Every structure is written in structure tokens, then in C-alpha cells.
Amino acid sequence: MRFKGGPTQDEVMAVSLQKLGLKKGDVVADIGCGTCKVAMAMAEIAEKVYAIDVSQQAMDVSRVKLKTWGKDNIELRQQDGIDFLKECERLDGAFVGGTRRLEEMLTLLKDRVEGRIVVNTVLLSSMNKAVVSMTKLGIFKEAVQVQIGRSKELAGSIMFRPIDPVFVIVGEVK
């Protein structure tokens, strides 16, 4: 099933998770989890993952995927990310795949995360909002552009077809 803006490409997810710096025992959130792909990768390391999305379609797909997955350390929540953060106490990290109300979300995350916050976006305006907000909050670490090209057969040879670039914006709360 295809979702607007996703699912996150494997190569982009690898960079994002490396930047997140997960450790055993971490409690983390995937805000705007979509199909739960990133949350599932996070759950391979973290002790607990909150997977949050407002979409009923996302929750339906995620429930089906998680039933056959075999792990039980992901808690699905059909909820606005802001509402989740208002009731959440402390996290070791957060991945943000949805950028609605981003400035407000980053402000809440700064008060709840002891570790890294990673935001993925394809829009320059959202990348700018993330960088400006994180800078104002004193948590901006870096922004990385990830550009992937996948091989495709063409005329008996191989070409590379580019995939839209993604901005990975990293904040760190110490």
C-alpha cells in the first residue's frame, strides 16, 4: 500500500537511524509512522517504540504488519504527534516523519528527549523550519541531504534512476 510521502527508502532510513544513535534500552518515538517501517527498524535496537500517526489507513496497515512480525515492543497510537508529546514524559530519541506543526513539535521534543531528534523531509520549506526551530532551541546539530539512485536495466546495460532527495535534520538534547 502506498502512502503520501512514504514509506521511507531503505538507504535514507539507514542514514536516519545512524544519526539517531539508538542504544539498547532506549525508549523512542516514530512520529508520523506511516506503515511502521522505521518504527520496526528502531525496535530491533530500542526497548520500546511508540509509533504515532493520525491516519486510520496507516494504523490498519501497521497492525497487520506487526501481527506477523513477531516482536511486541512497538506501541501503536492513532494520535496527533503533538497530543502524544503533551502526555509523554521522557524519550531517549525521536524520529519525525511528518512535518505538520513542526515548530511546536520540536519545542515539545526538546523538553522530553534526552538524546537525538531526527526529522526527515523532502520539502525545502520544512527543512528550513526544522533548522531554524532547532537553532532557536539550541539543539541543531546538522542537516544532511541524502540522494539515492537505483540501478535499472536499459538497452542491455545499467542506468541509475534518481530518487527524490531527502533532508535529514538532526538535533541533540544533552
Tell me the pLDDT tens digit for each residue of 36-53: 999 999 999 999 999 999
Identify the structural domains of the chain with CATH numbers, from first to last.
10-173 (3.40.50.150)
Percentage of the chain with pLDDT > 70? Answer: 97
Preceding peptide of 165 cis, ω within 30°: no
Residue 7: what pLDDT? 75
**Exposure string (b/e) for 135-164, b if CB count within 10 Å is 16 or more?**
eebebbeebeebebeeeeeeeeeeeeeeee
pLDDT at 64 over 60: yes
Sequence length of the chain is: 174
Q: Give the distance, in angstroms, between the CA of residue 67 and the centroid of all CA atoms in the same chain.
A: 21
Grid coordinates belonging to 39:
518504527
> Please, which pLDDT band fits residue 4 given cuts at 50, 70 and 90?
low
**Of residues 12, 47, 7, the one with CA closest to residue 28:** 47
Grid coordinates belonging to 13:
532510513
pLDDT at 3 over 70: no
Residue range 106-131: average pLDDT? 96
pLDDT at 23 over 90: yes
Residue 5: what pLDDT? 52
Query: What amino acid is encoded at 24 in this protein?
Result: K
Q: What is the dihedral of CA 126, 166, 8, 105, to 10 degrees?
A: -20
Residue 100: what pLDDT? 84
Whole-model pTM above 0.85? yes
43 contact partners, CB below 8 Å, separation of at least 6:
49, 71, 73, 74
